[in-house]
Amino acid sequence: MSSVNVSPCKEFSLQISSIAPDKSISHRSVMFSMLANGTSEIRNFLRAEDTLNSLEIVKNLGATVEDDGEVIKIKSDGIKESFEILDCGNSGTGMRLFCGLLSSANGHFVLTGDKYLRSRPMKRVTQPLRDIGAKFDGRDDSNLAPLSIRGSSLKSFDYDSKIASAQVKSCMILAALRADGVCTYTEPELSRDHTERMLKGMGAQISVDGLKTTIAPMKELLSPLKIRVPADPSSAFFFAVAAAITPHAEIVLKGVTLNETRIEAFKALERMGADITYNMTDDKYEPIGDITIKHSQLKAITVDDNISWLIDELPALSIAFACAEGISIVKNAEELRVKESDRISTVVNGLSACGIQTTEYADGYTVKGGTLKSATVDSDGDHRIAMSFIIAGLRCGMNVTDLDCINTSFPNFFELLQKITKVEFN
């Protein structure tokens, strides 16, 4: 499947209870099980390439895994040195968090990934880890994978991060759990907080005061996880945009995490004038509920804060910008340039191909709302770029190429899309 043609859609009404399970929480659930005393049980795990790679790595690190298709049970007797090279596939989350988890483990480990991941910067985690005693080797002074890790004793730290990144924060929290004293991590703005929530729920001594997180080293192994992974709001957001830009459309997205650090894109869409309501149904590790979105006339907005809460959704939000009245502005978003693709360039180039006026800057871009025109857009191997422009096809028809990447996060994306419109694969 190298490309898809998407037909325009005039209206739809849909309720979805099968949005892909949350990718971030799925990654963390299998990793954090390695820190537990007993058997962790994970339900509704995302069975996508990236997260399955993390599960395979956990197996290679010595965990016993039982999987009956409904519940994954993981029991670990400590991290073991692996005979295998640990392949993270396309996942920056996987590689960066495993760097923190393995930096203090007893043994030698090698992390690698696909050609896209091997081009992404890793020094943002390897350098602060080296500063506290971790031992890394890799290309470009341990900036590029494959990365070699020799587990070592780690010093306590007070780290002031220059970027708001949940991946960097999570990596350093995992390192702090086995450091030789209490550690603090301060970030310039609050990034996604799944790691803190889940580890605290397992009994880790973690406290958050504004932008400062304090972590005490583990005195003993943590309590096992018992979790049902909620639906992924980043995946759900593609269909939120679909409803917002399609006349006479309405959609209900069931069982989504309503964590405030994960629904900023929905809040941005609300600021644009979208009709969105929330109904919380559960709250344990994460607040969970249903989101309803109805079509409405959209207006341009400026997005220049809480960027770390939007980093995965900005490509899809940019499709809404293209359908809005006025000029939308994205600022302070340099982090977009080091995701699965350079998302500033891929968004700007894709929208320009669709006849939308855009301007690219070092840290963002502008989008002047107009009439989307049918075009061919290449995803550049980025699943979120691919799905965003497929959703744009609901307005104008679209051909999108390089689709295999979608399987890294949302394997049933096309199954759900076909409930809305006609798609043809080439």
Instruction: Give me the active site residues, please.
Output: 312
Q: What is the 3-state secondary structure (H, E, C) of the chain?
A: CCEEEECCCCCEEEEECCCCECHHHHHHHHHHHHHECCEEEEECCCCCHHHHHHHHHHHHCCCEEEECCCEEEEECCCCCCCCCCEECCCCHHHHHHHHHHHCCCCCEEEEECCCCHHHCCCHHHHHHHHHCCCEEEEHHHHCEEEEEEECCCECCCEEECCCCCHHHHHHHHHHHCCECCCEEEECCCCCCCHHHHHHHHCCCCEEEECCEEEECCCCCCECCCEEECCECHHHHHHHHHHHHHCCCEEEEEEEEECCCCCCHHHHHHHHCCCEEEEEEEEECCCEEEEEEEECCCCECCEECCCHHHCCCCHHHHHHHHHCCECEEEECCCHHHHHCCCCHHHHHHHHHHHCCCEEEEECCEEEEECCCCCCCEEECCCCHHHHHHHHHHHHHHCEEEECCHHHHHCCCCHHHHHCCCCCEEEC
Instruction: Report whether 220 contacts 270 (CB < 8 A).
Output: no
**CA–CA dist 298, 245 (Å, integer):** 8
Extract long-range pairs of 63-71: CB within 8 Å, 24+ residues apart.
Answer: 63/33, 63/34, 70/43, 71/41, 71/42, 71/43
